[in-house]
Amino acid sequence: MVHSHESTILRGNPLDDPYTRDVIVYLPPEYSNSYSKAYVTVFLLAGFGGSGRSLLNFDPLGEDIESKINRLFSEGKCGPMILVMADCFTKFGGNQYINSSATGLYEDYITKEIVPFIDENYNTSSHSVMGKSSGGYGALMLGMRNPEVFQGLVDHSGDAAFEFCYLPDFPKALEAFRANSPRKWLKEFWNKPNRHRKADQVALNVLAMAAHYSPNPDSELGVDLPFNADTGELLDAVWKRWLAWDPTKIIGKYSENLRKLKLIFIDCGTKDEFNLQWGARIIHSRLDDMSIRHHYEEFDDGHSNISYRYDVSLPKIYSELV
């Protein structure tokens, strides 16, 4: 089921991105409109560079999400659930699912528009938010900041420990922004026939993170870069603004919210190319220190092509939230 949802919250967003967005809803084969039946509902957040539709992409070497949940259901590993995939793509190449003056109010979009819209149109019960990479970051942030909306969160390889996952890319991004202003670079990027070159993706990711963690309406493109584009010197004041959104630094502030959740599931590959296993380990340690119940796993793999991990998390959501 695909809904074309016109958003009041995204109307007039600073990037002039579309405010009418697709919201894709998967319904289990046994779905019933009877009000005597309600379904655990999972809000899936796409990773950087993805959208709601990309989660449904056919993969000849793997499984799209619809095939996966149908298989888990038929194998008796998971009960019937509703899956919701909202489009949150931006001109910066993705989303961290937080409110930003540079991108728009996407935390509000999910929690105040999409969740109520789904509740009004479908027989929902408990809500969980789930994602991988930037989507995992978004799931952790939305879950721990909005326990009145979500009863569970699943963070697969989410951004954390910013010193490890972002700093190594700054020299590569500097080469792009030293030659062009961020505004000019972004315009040229969207005019390129091939937008998948690794060097461009690194620069785009750094620019997108600045848009979320250090927005500034008075700066070019509405963002403050965390470094001097001429010399490469790290700008401490801006970097501190980034760290104010690092889960490893702020998770303690949300301890009471986290205690309210029925499920906290965190995992990461031990060979993650963005060093995210270290952030996951710190979060795991912080939760242990606060005696907050959670499920933590590591697996022998990297960052990409790990949707097979949903075979673990989706049944976990159902068993904990039903």
Domain ranges of the chain: 2-161+249-321, 164-243
For 2-161+249-321, the fitting CATH number among 3.20.20.140, 3.40.50.1820, 1.10.150.120, 3.40.50.720 is 3.40.50.1820
| Residues 36-83 pLDDT 10s | 789 999 999 999 999 988 888 777 888 999 999 999 999 999 999 999
Which position has the token pair 């990027």? 189
pLDDT above 90: residue 222: yes
Token pair for 94: 């993705």
* Stated pTM of the model: 0.97
| Residues 138-168 pLDDT 10s | 999 999 999 999 999 999 999 999 999 999 9
Give the pLDDT confidence score for residue 41 in this predicted structure.
98
Give the pLDDT confidence score for residue 61 in this predicted structure.
81
- Tell me what the mean pLDDT of segment 256-269 comes to: 98
pLDDT above 80: residue 205: yes
**In a 10 Å sphere around its CB, with 0-12 CB exposed, 13-18 middle and 19+ buried, how is residue 100 labelled?**
buried
pLDDT above 80: residue 35: no
pLDDT above 90: residue 2: yes
- Tell me what the mean pLDDT of segment 277-301 comes to: 98
Give the pLDDT confidence score for residue 53 in this predicted structure.
86
pLDDT above 80: residue 218: yes
Helices assigned H by DSSP within the chain: 65-74, 106-108, 115-121, 134-145, 162-165, 170-179, 182-191, 198-213, 236-243, 247-250, 255-259, 276-289, 310-321
